[in-house]
Structure 1
Amino acid sequence: MGDRDSRHQRAMQTLKERVDDKVAGATEQRGLLLVFTGNGKGKTTAAWGTVTRALGYGYRVGVVQFIKGLWECGERARLETDPNLDVAIMATGFTWETQNREADTRACREVWAEAERMLADPEVYLVVLDEITYMLKFGYLDIETVTRAIQNRPPEQTVIMTGRNAHRDLIAMADTVTEMQETRHAFNAGLQARRGIDY
């Protein structure tokens, strides 16, 4: 075995030992709180990927879409016939289109009632609160209401929250926070969102 191969084998053995130690140390089992935030693309797509994974194992899943619900959504279109998937959509769509705070607040609170129902149901394995960060930023929901529902959910339930500028309290209570960083975005160069790729 050459010197480079020997170094590689030693490095991989060290890596394996570290990974094995981490796996052995991970003994707690419970639902998680995941936050997908940041200015980069892919937060909702990542959440739908996890929805697909959970449905693939036969788990019940709830998705609440606070902003993009009236848009076409390829993932939702593909998965919505699954009997284990429950989707609730905020009726007003993009809040910057409506420009009506009262109507947006009312629509948000109506769909939040669906989210609270899902968050209280021990049969629902995964709940996605898509673009909820905007609801907090614009004041349609208060952070205490959201954190209380998250903290009181069934212990086996996982929650994914998506959106830019996640509230510091959500980040503090999350088990996993992933920040999508934008390096370049096609839209900023004048390219339209593409069906089947962007939505």
Structure 2
Amino acid sequence: MSGLVFPTPVRGSTVDVLGLRWPPPVRRPSEQEISLEIECLCSKVSATIHGPVPVHRICHCHQCKQITGGTYGQFLLVRNNSMLTWRCNTAELKAFSYYVGEDESENNVKNVFRCPKCFTPIFIGQGNPNSNRMLFFVGCLADPTWLNNHKPEYELSTEDRCAWVPFIAQPLASSPKPEPKSK
């Protein structure tokens, strides 16, 4: 034995290991199925998110601030397109694509989808356009009272958080900053 003594772990306790929480937070399976209506300002774009409660998160990165025009972006993460029922022609949605970081590959592209009439941002599709990973803006909830009982679970890019904005949820590990292009 090395003579090292470790305290007895306390059930439910966490520790920081290299800046990450261990054990990582466990999402308890939702026993409740949800049905959340999404719509734009003019009601031309509408959908229903149904199934288990999606992950609710906040992002403080510069791009999310620019897209939302606020101090952070707040999203519902939908990982499966089968959780959606659209009541509009999604081919009409206007998309703006931008790259995250310096590598202009399809793995680093994000697509912001907006209503073609009122330009309300509806969701961000991450990575490959065929991906099932979508971040729906919580501002598009038809009934925002759902948010009263569903606090965000995670915060991302907290190093970019405005100093006067309090921490609201469990911070996730910081993502590495993109390397500047060499000249």
| TM score, norm. by length of structure 1 | 0.29
The one of the two structures with greater contact order (alpha-carbon pairs below 8 A, sep at least 6) is: 1
